[in-house]
Amino acid sequence: MNFGIISFPGSNCDWDLYYAIKDELNESCKMISSDETNLDEFDVILIPGGFSYGDYLRSGAIGSLASAMQAVKKIAKEGKIIIGICNGFQILTESNLLPGSLMVNEQPEFISKWQNLKVENNQTIFSNKFKKNQIVKMPIAHGEGNYYCDEETLKELESNHQIVFRYEDNPNGSVNDIAGITNKEGNILGMMPHPERAVETILGGIDGLTLFQSLKNTNSEVIK
């Protein structure tokens, strides 16, 4: 599998992702400028956390307008795999690649801590190495991680099994404890917790590595 990481001005988790993929997953990985217009060579695109463009306007709003995101939309329609983490999740919602939006935390402060998550759906390309209802631990670090969507969208997320991870002891007010969702087609994942910061025991846990290993466990027919 060939991974690409889009690095925006202000991204600060791009190299964490590079290390997780290159050194821990042992897969090909390349850093990509946010000005890139062609992503056809990649099987998986990762959109990292950080503060793209300083989080001016709204988190992810300016990042969604970058040239690379137009290329992401193209390959997403082709079935390529896209993962947005933290600010990357915000960019995906601002780009209308995932439903809903990320608002200021219910208690308006930056939260940085390890968080327990429940694996709500382990039948996705991102979670098939987990067990159903497994409790996993990954760090969170955000000020605008409060996931919101209207009631109709929430019903669709629930009925289509698009909710992959839920918070235990909801830290930010996200509706229905949502920590990570997919699109209807199942090839795009957005999540606020940071799996790339949970790939070695010395970091505090390895549950994040299991997410990336799930991609390697995926049927090759998913990758066009």
How far apart CA 88 and CA 9 sit, in angstroms, is 13
As a whole number, mean pLDDT of residues 114-139 equals 98
Candidate list 29, 94, 149, 194, residue with the active-site label: 194
The per-residue pLDDT for 223 is 37
Q: Measuring CA to CA, which residue among 190, 187, 192 is closest to residue 44?
A: 187
Number of domains, the chain: 1
As a whole number, mean pLDDT of residues 114-130 equals 98
Domain harbouring 58, CATH code: 3.40.50.880
Instruction: Output the six-digit token pair for 137.
Output: 């631990």
Distances in Å between the Cα of 223 and the Cα atoms of 3, 39, 180, 220 are 12, 14, 21, 6
As a whole number, mean pLDDT of residues 161-190 equals 98
Candidate list 29, 86, 142, 149, residue with the active-site label: 86
The per-residue pLDDT for 219 is 55
Told to judge if 106 belongs to the known catalytic residues of this protein, a careful annotator would answer no
The per-residue pLDDT for 56 is 87
Q: What is the pLDDT of residues 10-51, one digit of tens each?
A: 999 999 999 999 999 999 999 999 999 999 999 999 999 999
Told to judge if 194 belongs to the known catalytic residues of this protein, a careful annotator would answer yes
Residue 220 has pLDDT above 50, yes or no: no
Q: For CA atoms 176, 178, 183, 184, give the dihedral sign.
A: negative
- Eight-class DSSP state of 186: S
Answering whether pTM is above 0.75, one says: yes
Residue 224 has pLDDT above 70, yes or no: no
Distances in Å between the Cα of 45 and the Cα atoms of 12, 23, 115, 179 are 16, 17, 25, 20
The per-residue pLDDT for 57 is 86
**Whole domain around residue 119: which residue ranges?**
2-222
Told to judge if 36 belongs to the known catalytic residues of this protein, a careful annotator would answer no
